Structure 1
Amino acid sequence: MEKIKYPVYDYIKFIWKKKLLLIGFTILCMVIGAALSYIKPTIYTSTALVFTGNGNNEKLSKPRLITDTYKDELPEDLSGSLDVKIAEPFQITLSLSGSDKKTVESNTKKVAEQYTNDLTNRFNEQLEVQEKYKNALEEKVIKTEEAISQYTQLVQEKSDENKLDHYLEVLINKEEVAEKYRADLEEVEYDLALAETPELMDVTINQSSNNLLRNALLAGAFGFQLMLVLLVLWKYIINARRALSQRQE
């Protein structure tokens, strides 16, 4: 009668006999993973938070354009790490990463200050234009109101009956124009009242964790699987040699 074989059980039994080797290699890999965590250099990430103000500036409000504009101002080893993100409406973050804490922090502050200054200059230019527009509207309102007063007096006096219709027409037109100027003036005054200057809010720096536990567990899992494969291969070679030997006999 042919003997019944249980290959899976045979492999499990072999692995169980070699369990100390399996466990020992797994622990060794965990130790190596933990050691590598300490060898890996610490990476510092400095982040600047900038309030962009509520001015209209397309070039300095798009992360990609900001990166292209300021990366050339940074050292070569840091320019590639410049990361620009929109944190919230009217808030931009600029981040740099590197192994030297002082260099990372100083360059982050430098590029953030330059960015803030550029925003402020653009904001001031727009503010100046709005102020001039406001002054022009105020003058137009005053002149139009003076004209309304003059034509109102002419209509009341009825000094020239032939021109009365013309005076009334001009008066109505001036009142409509004055109303439009007042509405535009109120709008620009509202915009000026809400105008907020760009400002560098904060610069923070953090260091990367060495991920000791995570690296140790990953290395242990890798070591366990590798040794398991090697043990299965080992057992397969033993079985193959045994089968070959039996055939030769």
Structure 2
Amino acid sequence: MEKIKYPVYDYIKFIWKKKLLLIGFTILCMVIGAGFSYTKETVYTSTALVFTGNGNNEKLSKPGLIKDTYKDALPEDISSSLDVKITEPYQITLSLSGSDKVSVESNTKKVAEQYTSDLTERFNEQYDVQENIKDALEGVVKNTKEAISQYNKLIQETSDEAKLLHYNEVLINKMEAFDKYQADLEEVEYDLVLAEDPELMNVTTTQTSNNLLRNTILAGAFGFQLMLVLLVLWKYIINARRALSERK
């Protein structure tokens, strides 16, 4: 009667006999993974949050253009790490990364302050223009209001049909113009009330973790799987040699 074979059980039994080798190699890989974690260089990332204000500035509101504008003023070893992101409406972050914490922090603050200063300069220019428009509209509204009052007085004082017709026509035009100027003035005043200056909100610095636990677990899992494959291959070679010897 032919002997019944259980190859899977045979392999499991072999692996169990070599369990100390499997466990030992896994532990060795975990130790190597943990050691590797401590050899990694610490990288510091400093991030500045800037409120851009609600002025219009195309050049200083697009990340790509901002990077091109300010990266040349940074040291060569960290200039390429400059990262600009729009986090929320009217909020932009500028980040730098490197191994020197002092350099990263100081240069991040420097570029953020310069960026905020440029935004403020542009904002003030636009605010001054709005103020001038407001002053001009106030003058126009005042003059138009006085003209309406004068034509109302002229209409009351004259009885000439031709003049009455002319005065009424001019008065209607003046009143329509007054409504338009008044609406424009209110719009400009509303924009000025809502105007908000750019501001550097804060600068924060973080450092990369050495991921000790993560690297240890991953290295252990890799070592366990590798040794398991090697043990299976080892057992396969033993079985293959045994089968060849039996045929002879």
TM-score by length of 1: 0.95
Q: 1:110 corresponds to which residue? A: 110
- 1:124: how far off? 1.0
SS of the equivalent of 1:85 reads strand
The reply to whether residue 92 of structure 1 matches residue 92 of structure 2 is yes
CA distance in 2, matches of 1:158, 1:96: 78
CA distance in 1, matches of 2:232, 2:34: 27
| RMSD over equivalenced CA pairs, Å | 1.3
The reply to whether residue 70 of structure 1 matches residue 58 of structure 2 is no
- 1:64: how far off? 2.7
CA distance in 2, matches of 1:78, 1:237: 54
Structure 1 residues 40-49 or 85-94, which shifts more?
85-94
- 1:226: how far off? 0.7
Q: 2:150 corresponds to which residue? A: 150
Q: 2:81 corresponds to which residue? A: 81
What amino acid does structure 1 have at the position aligned with 2:112?
A
- 1:152: how far off? 1.4
Q: Deviations over 1:3-36 (max 9, x none)?
A: 2211111111111111001001111111111111
What amino acid does structure 1 have at the position aligned with 2:57?
N
- 1:88: how far off? 2.0
Q: 2:12 corresponds to which residue? A: 12
CA distance in 2, matches of 1:142, 1:95: 51
CA distance in 1, matches of 2:237, 2:76: 54
CA distance in 2, matches of 1:55, 1:112: 18
SS of the equivalent of 1:203 reads strand
Give identity over the alignment, percent: 81
SS of the equivalent of 1:46 reads strand
Q: 1:37 corresponds to which residue? A: 37
CA distance in 2, matches of 1:75, 1:6: 68
Q: 2:170 corresponds to which residue? A: 170
What amino acid does structure 2 have at the position aligned with 1:71?
K
The reply to whether residue 25 of structure 1 matches residue 20 of structure 2 is no
Question: Which segments of 5 or more consecutive residues in structure 1 lack a partner in the other structure?
Answer: none
- 1:134: how far off? 0.7
Q: 1:140 corresponds to which residue? A: 140
CA distance in 2, matches of 1:75, 1:8: 62
- 1:61: how far off? 1.7
What amino acid does structure 1 have at the position aligned with 2:162?
N
The reply to whether residue 227 of structure 1 matches residue 210 of structure 2 is no
TM-score by length of 2: 0.96
- 1:80: how far off? 2.3
Structure 1 residues 47-56 or 238-247, which shifts more?
238-247
SS of the equivalent of 2:178 reads helix
Q: 2:59 corresponds to which residue? A: 59
Structure 1 residues 87-96 or 19-28, which shifts more?
87-96
SS of the equivalent of 1:95 reads strand
Question: Which segments of 5 or more consecutive residues in structure 2 lack a partner in the other structure?
Answer: none
Q: Segments of 4+ in structure 1 off by > 4 A?
A: none
- 1:160: how far off? 3.9
Q: Deviations over 1:122-143 (max 9, x none)?
A: 1111111111111111111122
Aligned length: 248
- 1:159: how far off? 5.7
